[in-house]
Amino acid sequence: MQNSLVPAAQYLRMSTDHQQYSLDNQADAIALYAANHDFQIVKTYSDAARSGLRLQNRPGLKQLLKDVVAGTSEFRAILVYDVSRWGRFQDVDEAAHYEYLCKAAGIPILYCAETFANDNSTSGLILKALKRTMAGEYSRELSAKVKAGLLRLAKMGYKQGGFPPYGMRRLLLDVHGNPKQVLADGERKSLTTERVILVPGPLHEVRIVQRIFREYVDEKRSLTYIAKRLNDEGVPFVQGGKWTTNTVSHALERPQYMGTHVWGRTTAFLSGPAKKVGCESWAICPKAFQPIVSPELFERAQKRLSEVTYRLSNQQLLEKLKFLLAKHGKLSARMIDKSCMCPSVRTYVARFGGLLNVYAQVGYMASDSIAQINLRLQTAFVRRALMQKFVDCFEGQIEIVPPRKKARSILRIRASRLLVSVVLARFHPSRTTRQPRWLIYVPKSERKRIAVVGLMNEQNSAVKSMRVFLNTKYVNATSLKFRADCEWLQAGKPLQRVEDLFEILSQIRQ
């Protein structure tokens, strides 16, 4: 008799820890169904305190599907309490897809507490689709009700879960609003009628918070400086962690420090990705807690934080540039870098992909500026091509060192580790004389190095001639204009061919 029983697996799921005996109740109902339908439970998969909205948070179901698809399972059926226990997926096709994977492997799913038979009959299919839709809709309605309840409590100043900010602690209130106890990390209220508020923590932590605000606002210290100083003094962050630029920045943003409770700045609807919410939808309760810093000091900190470049939106960056354009009537890279109202050109290039794009965004399309940008791009292209010629000519002997912060790419002789700078001098026509002139700029970090200087042709489309110098210290200004008969230019060793580089290097280093 025992051998005639069909081996089956059971899948159990409950959403929260508060659903007491839920798994046991499901298991009892499934056991009764199995006894009445000649099944024997040989394996159990379960997801305790797991939401049914998404597969990624349910290791039990994922393992069940993995075993079924692998074809190594010992069971021939899967017993589930009802459709909602299989999942409250917001897309009913997702629930159907996972069920079909099992069915395609020859292992049907049977819902023990449902009134319909999962037998592919028309009525069964309609009822199952309806049940799946209802399961998903239940989650949507419940989510909206829970959020409304949390929003109401937050507007009354009660904390809605999560860790307290550094320097503050959670205080549990009884049903009458009287203080009950300070909650330690990991402790939670036991009654739904109890409430939690924030109170100042240990005095030494409170003083650290006040110090952070004072140093940032009054002493104009940077976020990085404040974090480094706290770490150097051995001041621990939460749970013994280290202070960072982000932790200091987040501390300065906490409205709880001035006694204001704010909740609902982000949302993750139905376990979806977190999204920012507009301030008009926040739950705000002023004077909810005992403040650590004054509102005036807090607002001054927010004003300074708002000027930090990485916090500015693309539109805010462009507005600053438009103001600069209106003030001077033109734009240039040097003008942007020297401006006190705009971040560096590097920031604009990183955000918008180049100065041409930036100028187009603010409606500045002056031909001379565009020509200058195109010329710089063309020069950079020719320089890269020349460096690649050296690498190709001396394969395995010369390499290009990638650019670092505030430094360009450079050539390196592998055997000696010698660094060689490659600099191009752009052709610069003169308005007063017909003699050819060039304009050269050498970064400060490269002026002490051996340099290959290339003179570009009149179209600045290729290198016309090259000379090798022991250094380029003579270029001690931003840029230098010179003619072909310039004394220092003639002092350089002519490099007729790329193949002669090693020979010229040995001559100038003697």
The reply to whether 330 and 407 lie within a common domain is: no
Q: Is residue 145 part of a domain?
A: no
| Torsion angle in degrees (nearest 10) through CA of 48, 50, 53, 54 | -100
The reply to whether 216 and 131 lie within a common domain is: no
Which pLDDT belongs to residue 418?
94
The reply to whether 316 and 281 lie within a common domain is: no
The reply to whether 91 and 23 lie within a common domain is: yes
Residues 6+ apart with CB under 8 A from 416: none
Q: Answer yes or no: are the C-beta atoms of 11 and 46 closer than 8 Å.
A: yes
pLDDT tens digits, residue range 117-126? 887 788 888 8
Nearest-angstrom CA–CA distance, 508 and 510 = 6
3-state secondary structure of 195: strand
pLDDT band at 1 (very low <50, low <70, confident <90, very high): very low
> What is the average per-residue pLDDT within 438-442?
90
In sequence order, which ranges of 37-70 are alpha helices (DSSP H)? 59-70
Q: Is residue 50 part of a domain?
A: yes
Q: Is residue 163 part of a domain?
A: no
Which pLDDT belongs to residue 477?
59
Query: Which of residues 340 and 48 earns the better pLDDT score?
Result: 48
Structure tokens that stand for 135 in this block: 């399961």
| Torsion angle in degrees (nearest 10) through CA of 293, 295, 298, 303 | -170
pLDDT tens digits, residue range 161-213? 788 999 999 999 988 889 999 998 888 887 778 899 999 999 999 999 999 99
The reply to whether 213 and 133 lie within a common domain is: no
DSSP percent split of the chain into helix, strand, coil, nearest 5:
45, 20, 35
Position 52 pLDDT exceeds 80 = no
**Among residues 120, 140, 160, which one ends one of the domains?**
140
Share of the chain above pLDDT 90, in %: 46
Q: Is residue 147 part of a domain?
A: no
Q: Is residue 299 part of a domain?
A: yes
The reply to whether 66 and 121 lie within a common domain is: yes
Q: Is residue 150 part of a domain?
A: no
The reply to whether 241 and 287 lie within a common domain is: yes
The reply to whether 389 and 349 lie within a common domain is: no
The reply to whether 93 and 10 lie within a common domain is: yes
Position 127 pLDDT exceeds 50 = yes
Structure tokens that stand for 356 in this block: 């041409």
Cβ neighbours, 10 Å, residue 177 = 11
Strand partners, 263: 283
The reply to whether 299 and 316 lie within a common domain is: no
User: Residue 235 belongs to what domain range?
Assistant: 168-305
Position 275 pLDDT exceeds 50 = yes
